[in-house]
Every structure is written in structure tokens, then in C-alpha cells.
Amino acid sequence: MTTDSNAKAYWSATLGLLTKVLVIWFLCSYGAGILFAPALNSIQLGGYPLGFWFAQQGSIYIFIALIFWYAKKMGEIDRQFGMQED
């Protein structure tokens, strides 16, 4: 059984992780693919401008990495607060 303060701390840690994931997602998808694309296009990656690469492929790789990172960190948070599944 969890206490009220433990539940609030768990929720706070979960929201903190979610905020980090969403900020990375935003910077990668909207920032690198749209806002910073003109600046990134001066760099070539595999023969393509980096801004174009992020918009077409790079963001997908980062999103997949985010999924695994989120699952790992969420498991750590669950264990820290005694919420893990058996």
C-alpha cells in the first residue's frame, strides 16, 4: 500500500520524466526538422543536408531511442517507489 506522500512523489517523478521526453521530442521533431533546419542544412550527413535528414529519418531514430530510454527510466522510478510489476 502506498502512502499519499509516496504517491505524490511518484506522480511528480513520472511527470518530470514525461516532461523531459516531450521536450526532447519537440526539439527533435519541430526544432531540428523545421525551426533549425536552415542552420542545420549547412552540415552534410551521408550526402544530405542535416535538417532534411532529421526531418526524414533522424527524428525516427531518436523517437525509437526515446521509447527505450523512457521504459528504462520508468522502470527505475517504479522500483524506487515500490510500484513495479511482479
- The DSSP code for 21 is H
Domain of 49 in residue numbering reads as 4-80
pLDDT of 21: 96
Average pLDDT over residues 30-50: 86
pLDDT of 4: 84
Distances (CA, A) of 14 to 1, 64, 82: 18, 19, 13
Domain-located, residue 54: yes
What does pTM read for this prediction?
A: 0.79
3-state secondary structure of 22: helix
pLDDT of 86: 67
**What is the number of structural domains in the chain?**
1
Task: Taking each helix axis as running N to C, give the angle between helix 4-26 and helix 59-80, from 0 to 180 degrees, rounded to the nearest 10.
Answer: 170
Q: What gap in Å lies between CA 60 and CA 5, rounded to an integer?
A: 38
Average pLDDT over residues 15-24: 96
Domain-located, residue 52: yes
- The DSSP code for 41 is T
Domain-located, residue 85: no
Single-letter code of the amino acid located at 12: S
Domain-located, residue 86: no
Of the chain, the percentage scoring pLDDT greater than 70 comes to 97
Stretch among 16-25, 34-43, 66-75 having the lowest mean pLDDT: 34-43
